[in-house]
Amino acid sequence: MTTARPVLRTDYQRSVANYWNHEKDPVNIKLGEVDNLFHHHYGIGDYDPAVLEAPAETRDEAIINELHRLETAQADVLLDHLGDIRPEHRIMDSGCGRGGTSIMANARFGCFVDGISISETQVEFANNEARRRGVDGKVRYHFKNMLDTGFETGSMQAIWNNESTMYVDLQNLFAEYARLIPTGGRYVTITGCYNDVTGGRSRAVSQIDQHYICNIHARSAYFKALADNGFVPINVVDLTAATIPYWELREKSSVATGIEGPFLTAYRENSFHYLLIAADRI
Amino acid sequence: MTTARPVLRTDYQRSVANYWNHEKDPVNIKLGEVDNLFHHHYGIGDYDPAVLEAPAETRDEAIINELHRLETAQADVLLDHLGDIRPEHRIMDSGCGRGGTSIMANARFGCFVDGISISETQVEFANNEARRRGVDGKVRYHFKNMLDTGFETGSMQAIWNNESTMYVDLQNLFAEYARLIPTGGRYVTITGCYNDVTGGRSRAVSQIDQHYICNIHARSAYFKALADNGFVPINVVDLTAATIPYWELREKSSVATGIEGPFLTAYRENSFHYLLIAADRI
Amino acid sequence: MTTARPVLRTDYQRSVANYWNHEKDPVNIKLGEVDNLFHHHYGIGDYDPAVLEAPAETRDEAIINELHRLETAQADVLLDHLGDIRPEHRIMDSGCGRGGTSIMANARFGCFVDGISISETQVEFANNEARRRGVDGKVRYHFKNMLDTGFETGSMQAIWNNESTMYVDLQNLFAEYARLIPTGGRYVTITGCYNDVTGGRSRAVSQIDQHYICNIHARSAYFKALADNGFVPINVVDLTAATIPYWELREKSSVATGIEGPFLTAYRENSFHYLLIAADRI
Amino acid sequence: MTTARPVLRTDYQRSVANYWNHEKDPVNIKLGEVDNLFHHHYGIGDYDPAVLEAPAETRDEAIINELHRLETAQADVLLDHLGDIRPEHRIMDSGCGRGGTSIMANARFGCFVDGISISETQVEFANNEARRRGVDGKVRYHFKNMLDTGFETGSMQAIWNNESTMYVDLQNLFAEYARLIPTGGRYVTITGCYNDVTGGRSRAVSQIDQHYICNIHARSAYFKALADNGFVPINVVDLTAATIPYWELREKSSVATGIEGPFLTAYRENSFHYLLIAADRI
Amino acid sequence: MTTARPVLRTDYQRSVANYWNHEKDPVNIKLGEVDNLFHHHYGIGDYDPAVLEAPAETRDEAIINELHRLETAQADVLLDHLGDIRPEHRIMDSGCGRGGTSIMANARFGCFVDGISISETQVEFANNEARRRGVDGKVRYHFKNMLDTGFETGSMQAIWNNESTMYVDLQNLFAEYARLIPTGGRYVTITGCYNDVTGGRSRAVSQIDQHYICNIHARSAYFKALADNGFVPINVVDLTAATIPYWELREKSSVATGIEGPFLTAYRENSFHYLLIAADRI
Amino acid sequence: MTTARPVLRTDYQRSVANYWNHEKDPVNIKLGEVDNLFHHHYGIGDYDPAVLEAPAETRDEAIINELHRLETAQADVLLDHLGDIRPEHRIMDSGCGRGGTSIMANARFGCFVDGISISETQVEFANNEARRRGVDGKVRYHFKNMLDTGFETGSMQAIWNNESTMYVDLQNLFAEYARLIPTGGRYVTITGCYNDVTGGRSRAVSQIDQHYICNIHARSAYFKALADNGFVPINVVDLTAATIPYWELREKSSVATGIEGPFLTAYRENSFHYLLIAADRI
């Protein structure tokens, strides 16, 4: 008989939260430890093939450093598309994981950043890290549902999802963002999406869904949901070719999780794209 | 520079066709051999627990006979919802597999039946079977794409999909059926669909997708696409509880394929429904 | 210059309220007096033909008892579809009439029930009855408009309309319910709807509209409006055949109102269906 | 198994056709005999009160002449809105009844007129009348369904419905007209429609529906369906006040059918409007 | 980081506000000085040709008086369509300019009038004028954005735009009005709109857009946006022929601004209409 | 009474055709004469500032050569996004002007190219040029309306509009392209579009509309119409910064037409974007 709305509302959300509360994948932890920027996304750009030829005792570390460099490069490209962010602005890192991109955004723009996640473990980890770096006055992480953040209407100059839209319904997601972002604000996502042109969800795409308990959307679903909710693209970049080297290197690394094969298959067979979309709120 | 439209148009369709051209799963073949009604769908109703206690030398056969009985019972329930079909009517078995339900429909109504499949192997198998039974004058199987059958407008009094809608876009599918079925005709499907209420695609659902290279739709997607294309439900039956015994028996049988676990998990955790929908063309 | 929104907003709503404020139809009053469960809906199931052969002095009472039994059976089928309702839940009887189904729901589930009606006479009658039964702590009736109840967002685990949707616009109605029912809650209606398949509104359907000053919707309108407002069917049952006996018996009874003929014509000519729809809020 | 599409497709259409095949209402026949312009619509404008005071032996005829004058005035207002029709144009009288307005249109513009009706009796009557007047070279009546005329795409410079849209689905109707009318062509209707503002269908409106086995649409439905099908209003005239005198006179005449009361009630209580809409095909 | 929403939100709105803050066009000022009713719209009706033949010393004044008479006549026609406005009602003049029509509305109905404008200069001018006339108790002007007025939900019995819709998005505009106007309230606009039938925006229409930094909408856009937001037309009047004399006279006057040519061209070539639309809120 | 559909259907189309039939702008003719590639679009990339310092007798020619180089660079970027075009493919240059880009496409891919224009003068000019170059076996120009080309369904592997979409309705345009392009084909446009973010059409944008009798669309209109018609973006590039140098150089050249100022203003004030969109047909 209460109307209080819990952060986790469905069995599905509870299972995703549970997954991330317990996840301790070396590919996220070890790479993060390179410079204490913890990411939960993939990388872009060519890797230095020399790392594969490094002496046995340093080879593993060299590869991990290189993977981390590519991840950070990806986050930089995402931040390049946030538009003109000023120190007094507030921006939101939606599905922030352990918080790495928020730290980078604050360092670049000097602005306020609110990261949100449905994993309480991640939120706690990220807030500790912000305190340790002394940026907790401007960078804060919250245990919140991205479909219903409770933040004030019009409060966010920009919002991004770095590989976290596959856990939610896009229409509901962008409806919430349309509420949070004022006219002229910006939305950016980097995401994997399956290719409407080659047809339905391929086996490789379903393997990724199963691995992460996620629900990869069709490319068309992004453009439909953005248009329906008052967002207009200004830049769209097909990053598929740029992300393949990351996966090839990771497949050969000690932190491979087994999902590398399906990603490489999906990208190469053209059933899956790695896409950046930047859109303006109108 | 040609405009001829091939049956198989996308990489995805080619991969599905390839799967079924080579499939020789005992769960389909052995069960079909019981009475030469070959099905590609699951069963409903309680099984006789005595089959599990049968002597070793007949136990396997007893279980297979029982599974086949449940499959046939499912097809009978589907046919119960086709409405008033008369001998001069023409009806379509969309995604007909090796043709069992078409044979049953012709036997019950005396009508013309056109089964279609994108697997040439299945089509050939089914036509041979129709000839062997002497019903090839009224039951014919075709190598055709259900999204674009080429059959004449208004030619089908009824169409059904028995567990074959997860391979196609529902909007495109029902647009084609809206063309084929005249006002007052009937559409019936039995399908697994994921539950919008529990949220996104669960891990068990993705395992099923991956196994069959399919793309299970949300329950809501069926009702949206039917409404958008001029179909109005008249009966909807939640068969989830009725299909669980079939899977429990199959899991214990010699023809288990390994996908039994994900199905049972998905049904029991309520992330997946086994649904019959009967709708009128208006 | 005020923004206070009255319960009755349109001339139409005022005329409907007026009808029910003055209605004292024996078919509702006399049947209710059998066991003080007052219904404003029809019945389902076969009647006992013996009542027609009862001796003159008891025949009338026997028929009335039988009609009331069928009405109560209908309400029981409706309650069967409300899902898992627990004592702490709150549910809403929308268009509650003199309150009978609310009493039954509270008796079955032990939960809180809010009945609403735009007839102040009915609301007063029903609250008196609840007090008399000593359930007024959990069963309350309100003078409210179902399009704008003022109840708190997310406060109702389930809502039903037992033959009361023909007085309102379905899009507006389900928009309000989408607000009231949280994710995973249930909506159920039993309603008469005209058949899109046989074409427009038949004469018999217009006679019913005229009798009750109502506006019977097309079957398709229910599915369209549910889909548009975030409700997904889980069960749909065509009760047409099951309700015909009720009307046949009522036609022969002392409480016939004259509308029995149009109902029987409409059902038999297939221009009208008696439908139960159960749908989940997603 | 044929795809030929009959003119009458649904039970509803058959019942409407049957009504009009047997209708011999004096209010249509006697008024038509005044000058052999047979109308099936109502009139507008003030009547001459002197007719009510005419001597007993001529009073009836005087009233009938006056009613007919008002009917013809209504048809003239409709024709005023057809735009610039030239002798080589072809225009369509959709739901032409016994053909009066088609005759008037040909007389005014010299153009080709195709009248259509689902009553074979009316079509035959109207063609005989055209022959008798010697205009059958340019005025032809056809037994056709207005939802699917079979006329060539783009063939009609203008189409009108004079009180005949309440028998069909407006979306389907205007889709067919969008096909028939080329860019820049015109559509005109005069119709009764119920008032969305006062709420649902009033009792008086349902009485009219029942009398004519029709399905009066909401005012909003016209504008929605026109917009959806590429028609843009250029003039909308509320003729309600102008038609009330016609009904008041008719109520006092010998040709009253009993439906006069509901019409007057509906107009006066503001639950019903008599509306002319002229729209351009874009 | 604030969520306060400024009246002027986009560069475009600021440029329009700037235009009107500095506008001192004699065609508005001099005509207003005739009787201190300051309009920012055009006129309708025939002019008295005698004014052109007036003696040199009074000719200019005679023409200006005549132009002002036609402007006032236009405002009167608009007010004729507001429906039944009573003294206790509150109505809104959206895009009120220097406030003339608001004064006329208050004088006619005795009701409360709120005029709004994004030009602070106009708002101040109009409030001074209301004070001077002693009607500032009921007529108030506000510096507000018509897309987001901040007025209370359901507070306005009627709203009109007199030639001010070409500065805003119609969907957003009518969404705000749907919030402000209760069921049964009225919306009226007089506006220039380009003609979908003749195709795209003609050169003359673009000249008008450029002159006023506005964005003339297609005729179809009005009906689409009204339907989408719960407004149903009750009267639509094509005033094109009625406004041409005003422009012909103005072209010959001392207050011509140079835009007269494009208006006359656009009206005469039929690429532009001067339209009144009255619609009910449902 | 004919249904033949003329190429030019509306007054607007006739006025546009008339403009281009008579246009002999040196900025198009003189630049084309550099190498007989005649373009009707603008350029991108930095210009060589040395051309401004060239000696008086060659300065003019140097600037014209440089402008032409930037135009050709723009066409090359467009062709880069057409995807994998093979010699047997057929592609369409929609709004081809004097045909330059078609020639470049054929030279690059060896494929068939159909250019279409509503200017008969341009079509004749372009066909002569194709014959002169000896490519008329594969490159053909047609007098056709891009909204209704008459080409066969599925016949075009790719279609592009190089600055020609501002003359047509985008929904109608992409509906025709959806018919022409098979699944997996590509659509590319480079276009100026006004910026929804800064609000309505600015004065500079209206000046451009007026100059070319065109109707510049909002950026959002492109994404909405693509989504509605089965096209999904794969790359979107904001070319605004890249096109400004072209306009700055042109403004200083002998071929300036006077429209350079509005373009520079519109780009610099951010009310206008120069956008490339590449989208897949699904």
pLDDT the model gives residue B107: 96
Residues D144-154 have pLDDT tens digits of 999 999 999 99
With contacts defined as CB-CB under 8 Å, which chain A residues touch B169? 200
Q: Which chains would you list as touching D if contact means 3+ CB atom pairs under 8 Å?
A: B, C, E, F
D70, D265 Cβ separation under 8 angstroms: no
Q: What are phi and psi of D11, to 5 degrees?
A: -55, -40
Q: Find, in chain D, the residue whose alpha carbon is nearest to that of C168.
A: D200
- The answer to whether the CB atoms of F201 and E207 lie below 8 A apart is no
Q: What are phi and psi of F236, to 5 degrees?
A: -135, 125
**Cα–Cα distance between A189 and A167 in angstroms, integer?**
13
F9 at D interface, C-beta within 8 A = yes
- The answer to whether the CB atoms of A1 and C184 lie below 8 A apart is no
With contacts defined as CB-CB under 8 Å, which chain E residues touch F200? 12, 16, 167-169, 213-215
Q: How far is E10 from chain F (nearest CA, A)?
A: 5
Residue tagged 């008796």 (tokens)? C107
Checking phi first, is residue F199 left (phi over 0); if not, alpha (psi -120 to 50) or beta? Answer: left
Cα(first)–Cα(last) distance of chain E, in Å? 38
Q: How far is F196 from chain D (nearest CA, A)?
A: 24
Q: Tell me the mean pLDDT in the region D111-123.
A: 96
C16, C121 Cβ separation under 8 angstroms: no
HEC per residue, F80-132: HCCCCCCCCCEEEEECCCCCHHHHHHHHHHCCEEEEEECCHHHHHHHHHHHHH
pLDDT the model gives residue A4: 53
- The answer to whether the CB atoms of A9 and C88 lie below 8 A apart is no
- The answer to whether the CB atoms of F9 and D90 lie below 8 A apart is no
**Max Cα distance, chain A (Å):** 65
Q: Which of E220, E238, E282 sits opposite D282 (nearest CB)?
A: E220
CA geometry: angle at E31 spanning E27 and E33, to 5°?
130
Q: Tell me the mean pLDDT in the region F36-55.
A: 93
Q: Tell me the mean pLDDT in the region C125-145.
A: 96
pLDDT the model gives residue C35: 87
More confident residue, B152 or E199: B152
D5 at B interface, C-beta within 8 A = yes
Q: Find, in chain D, the residue whose alpha carbon is nearest to that of C201.
A: D215
Residues E233-260 have pLDDT tens digits of 999 999 999 999 999 999 999 999 999 9
- The answer to whether the CB atoms of A197 and B15 lie below 8 A apart is no
Tokens of E139: 């007529």
Q: Tell me the mean pLDDT in the region E207-223.
A: 93
Residues D168-225 have pLDDT tens digits of 999 999 999 999 999 999 999 999 999 999 877 899 999 999 999 899 999 999 999 9
Q: Above 60 in pLDDT, residue D133?
A: yes
D153 at F interface, C-beta within 8 A = yes
F148 at E interface, C-beta within 8 A = no
pLDDT the model gives residue F1: 34
Q: How far is C7 from chain B (nearest CA, A)?
A: 32
With contacts defined as CB-CB under 8 Å, which chain A residues touch C184? 10
Residues D49-106 have pLDDT tens digits of 999 999 999 999 999 999 999 999 999 999 999 999 999 999 999 999 999 999 999 9
- Substitution target in E1, E13, E14, E169 with the highest count of A β-carbons within 10 Å is E1
D1 at B interface, C-beta within 8 A = yes
F–A touching, 3+ CB–CB pairs within 8 Å: yes
pLDDT the model gives residue D3: 41
F209 at E interface, C-beta within 8 A = yes
Q: Find, in chain B, the residue whose alpha carbon is nearest to that of F90.
A: B1
Q: How far is D260 from chain C (nearest CA, A)?
A: 16
- The answer to whether the CB atoms of F209 and E213 lie below 8 A apart is no
Nearest residue to A92 (alpha-carbon basis) of A172, A13, A30, A162: A162
- The answer to whether the CB atoms of F226 and A223 lie below 8 A apart is yes
Q: Above 90 in pLDDT, residue C68?
A: yes
With contacts defined as CB-CB under 8 Å, which chain F residues touch B9? 183
F220 at A interface, C-beta within 8 A = yes
- Write out the DSSP string of B161-198: EES-GGGS-HHHHHHHHHHHSPTT-EEEEEEEEE-GGG
- The answer to whether the CB atoms of F232 and A273 lie below 8 A apart is no
Q: Find, in chain E, the residue whose alpha carbon is nearest to that of A89.
A: E1
Q: Find, in chain F, the residue whose alpha carbon is nearest to that of D182.
A: F3
Q: Which of B196, B232, B236 sits opposite C196 (nearest CB)?
A: B232
pLDDT the model gives residue E3: 41
Q: Find, in chain A, the residue whose alpha carbon is nearest to that of B214.
A: A201
Q: Which of E89, E153, E184 sits opposite C3 (nearest CB)?
A: E153
Residues C95-117 have pLDDT tens digits of 999 999 999 999 999 999 999 99
ipTM: 0.90
A81 at F interface, C-beta within 8 A = no
Q: Find, in chain E, the residue whose alpha carbon is nearest to that of F197.
A: E10
pLDDT per 10-residue tile (average), chain B, 282 residues: 65 88 86 87 95 93 95 96 96 96 97 96 96 97 95 96 94 96 96 90 91 93 95 97 97 93 95 97 94
Average pLDDT, chain F: 93
Q: What are phi and psi of F46, to 5 degrees?
A: -75, 145
With contacts defined as CB-CB under 8 Å, which chain C residues touch A1? 88-90, 112, 155
**Cα–Cα distance between C217 and C204 in angstroms, integer?**
14
Q: Tell me the mean pLDDT in the region F17-40.
A: 87
D164 at C interface, C-beta within 8 A = no
Q: Where are the domains of chain D?
A: 11-281
Residues of chain A with confidence (pLDDT) below 50: 1-3
B233 at C interface, C-beta within 8 A = yes
- The answer to whether the CB atoms of D154 and F9 lie below 8 A apart is no
Measure Cα distances from C148 to C175, C176, E277, F32 in Å. Answer: 10, 6, 30, 67
- Write out the DSSP string of D83-110: ----TT-EEEEES-TTSHHHHHHHHHH-
Q: Above 70 in pLDDT, residue F2?
A: no
pLDDT the model gives residue F4: 52
Sign of CA dihedral E141, E143, E146, E150: negative
D158, D207 Cβ separation under 8 angstroms: no
**Cα–Cα distance between E139 and E99 in angstroms, integer?**
9
Long-range Cβ contacts of B76-81 (<8 Å, 24+ apart): B76/B104, B77/B44, B77/B190, B77/B237, B77/B239, B77/B276, B78/B160, B78/B162, B78/B188, B78/B190, B78/B276, B79/B104, B79/B105, B79/B108, B81/B186, B81/B188, B81/B235, B81/B276, B81/B278
pLDDT the model gives residue A232: 97
pLDDT the model gives residue B1: 35
Q: What are phi and psi of B189, to 5 degrees?
A: -135, 145
Q: Tell me the mean pLDDT in the region C82-90.
A: 96
E22 at A interface, C-beta within 8 A = no
D34, D64 Cβ separation under 8 angstroms: yes
Q: Above 50 in pLDDT, residue C3?
A: no
- The answer to whether the CB atoms of A155 and E9 lie below 8 A apart is no
E89 at C interface, C-beta within 8 A = yes
With contacts defined as CB-CB under 8 Å, which chain A residues touch B214? 200-201
* CATH class for the region spanning A11-281: alpha beta
Q: How far is A278 from chain F (nearest CA, A)?
A: 9
- The answer to whether the CB atoms of E233 and D233 lie below 8 A apart is yes
E89, E158 Cβ separation under 8 angstroms: yes
Q: Which of C89, C153, C183 sits opposite A1 (nearest CB)?
A: C89
F274 forms bridges with which residues in the sheet? F192
Put simply, the chain C residues between 172 and 201 with a CB less than 8 A from any chain A CB are 182-184
Residues F97-122 have pLDDT tens digits of 999 999 999 999 999 999 999 999 99
With contacts defined as CB-CB under 8 Å, which chain E residues touch C3? 152-155
Q: How far is F248 from chain D (nearest CA, A)?
A: 40
CA D196 to chain centre: 22
Q: Helical H runs in chain E? A: 11-22, 26-32, 56-80, 100-109, 120-133, 170-180, 203-212, 219-228, 240-251, 260-268
Q: Please count the residue pairs, one from chain C and one from chain E, whose beta carbons lie less than 8 angstroms apart.
A: 15
pLDDT level of residue C1 (50, 70, 90 thresholds): very low
